[in-house]
Amino acid sequence: MTRHSLIIDCDPGQDDAIALLLALSSPDELEVLGITTVAGNVPLDLTQRNARLMCDLAGREDMKVHAGCDRPLVRDLITAENVHGSTGIDGVEIGTPRTPLQPQHAVDFIVDTLRGAANESITLVPVGPLTNIATAMNQAPDILPKIRQIVMMGGAMREGGNHSPSAEFNMLVDPHAAKIMFDCGRPIVTMGLDVSHQVLASRARVERIRALGNPVADAACGMLNFFSRHDSKKYGADGAPLHDPCTIAWLLRPEIFQGKHCNIEVETDSPLTLGHTAVDFWGVTDRAENAVWMFKADADAFYELLIERLARYGSA
């Protein structure tokens, strides 16, 4: 069994939160070295708090949680309270986290962790804007050989944008950071809207999670019920796409997904299409393939995995 050593970079967000719970449920396959947080769905003071609350919920108050960049590299911060609620994780009780916030800046944690690691040994899992990741790469280019792979959530091709007509939110918040990541030369697996919109948290699936009857599953249901209201109304679908957990699910069971090596470029200038991911799916340019673009997911297998792993919190 392959064991992955991860740093998860996130902006919780209900779907980030589910991704964290999925990752922390699977210590045999995933060694989470730390969780770094970034401004995105909600401002940084909330994303770092929300990540710590998920560590409390998962019984991992020992987890290293770091706060990172509170704004994008160039743009002003845009957030998504209309999707996630004012707390960022509406649908779950908000208290004061027991998991401490580490004093070290997230970027310095990423740099120091990678510098202390062997070549090609660390998997980065960014599921929010890429600001922390890009800042670490700019600050310490020597860390690049230490990165085994980057498994990220972001981008859109056939699905179109979710926060502008042509851009997915993580790409739109910080397109300049996303470009730095796509140009870094390390292996990248990209879970965009094309695949996350295939794994909808339908009412039936949420009810199966609720039937698990443990506190983590209950919290997940509360978050999913809130998170689903926006996209269900917007797309007329039964449930919200579980964007960020696709990255963790791929690490656990890559066979759930199908992807293709492509060139992916991010628009960083046009006011009309800023943050657009130009995915050269059919190889019509001579641009180098720099990522695997995921385009198909087995939704039933995805939820079987998620439900089986959330059930583990009941036997803890």
Judged by CB under 6 A, does residue 128 bind ligand RIB?
yes
Q: Which of 9, 11, 174, 267 binds ligand RIB (CB under 6 A)?
A: 11
What dihedral angle (degrees, nearest 10) is formed by the CA atoms of 264, 265, 267, 272? -40
Strand-pair category, 30-37 with 4-10: parallel
Stretch that binds ligand RIB, among 91-99, 110-118, 140-148, 165-173 (CB under 6 A): 165-173
**How many other C-beta atoms are found inside a 10 Å radius of the C-beta of residue 162?**
22
Judged by CB under 6 A, does residue 16 bind ligand RIB?
yes
Judged by CB under 5 A, does residue 68 bind Ca ion?
no
Site for Ca ion in 12-31 (CB under 5 A): 13, 16
168 binds, among ligand RIB, Ca ion, none (CB under 5 to 8 A by kind): ligand RIB
| Shortest Å, Cβ 164 to ligand RIB | 11
Strand partners, 260: 293
Report whether 192 contacts 281 (CB < 8 A).
Answer: no
Strand partners, 151: 189
Nearer to Ca ion, 37 or 263 (CB): 37
3-class state of residue 150 by DSSP: strand
* Nearest-angstrom CA–CA distance, 191 and 305: 17
Judged by CB under 6 A, does residue 37 bind ligand RIB?
no
Judged by CB under 6 A, does residue 244 bind ligand RIB?
yes
* Nearest-angstrom CA–CA distance, 127 and 147: 16
Judged by CB under 5 A, does residue 155 bind Ca ion?
no
| Nearest-5° Cα angle at 52, 140 to 60 | 100
Whether 243 sits among the annotated catalytic residues: the reply is yes
Catalytic positions: 243
Under the rule (CB under 6 A), what is the footprint of ligand RIB? 11, 13, 15-16, 40-41, 127-128, 153, 162, 168-170, 243-244
